[in-house]
Amino acid sequence: MAFEITDSNFKQEVIDNEGVAVLDFWAEWCGPCRMISPIIDKLSAEYDGKALIGKVNVDENSEIPVEFGVRSIPTILIFKGGKLVDRHVGLTTQAVLAQKIESQLAS
């Protein structure tokens, strides 16, 4: 299960994180978000201990989406060393996201 990221724990869990963090911005009412959710959960298990895989509910947390210009969901943001390094908007496959994560882990 992906880690829940909130406005209150974002700095500690993502910005202060020296490693790779992947955030899925979603909402309960969003059909494509529900479709990508199992992929995010699988990636969370696959990269446990290697990367933080988290979910941000945009209806409950407004500061992070505003700060990073998230206007459409699902949006996936990838951080490394606390800095935004990649962004994907819309539905995608597990393979595409895994490739993006591997790329950041390798660099």
Q: Is 16 a catalytic residue?
A: no
Question: What integer pLDDT is reported at residue 32 of this predicted model?
Answer: 97
β-pairing, 83-89 with 75-80? antiparallel
Check 21, 22, 23, 33 and give the catalytic one.
33
Which numeric CATH code is attached to 3-101? 3.40.30.10
pTM of the model: 0.95
Is 33 in the active site?
yes
- List, in order, residues 6 or more apart from 72 with CB less than 8 Å away: 89, 90
- For residues 55 and 4, give the distance between their C-alpha atoms in angstroms, rounded to a whole number: 5
Residue 75, CB-side half-sphere exposure with 13 Å CA sphere: 17
Per-residue pLDDT at 33? 97
The 10s digit of each residue's pLDDT in 12-28 is: 999 999 999 999 999 99
In this model, does residue 2 exceed pLDDT 90? Answer: no
Which of 27, 30, 85, 89 is flagged as catalytic?
A: 30
Longest dimension (CA), the chain: 36
Rounded to an integer, what distance in angstroms lies between the CA atom of residue 59 and that of residue 42?
Answer: 23
pLDDT tens readout for residues 38-75: 999 999 999 999 999 999 999 999 999 999 999 999 99
Measuring CA to CA, which residue among 28, 34, 29, 16 is closest to residue 91?
A: 34
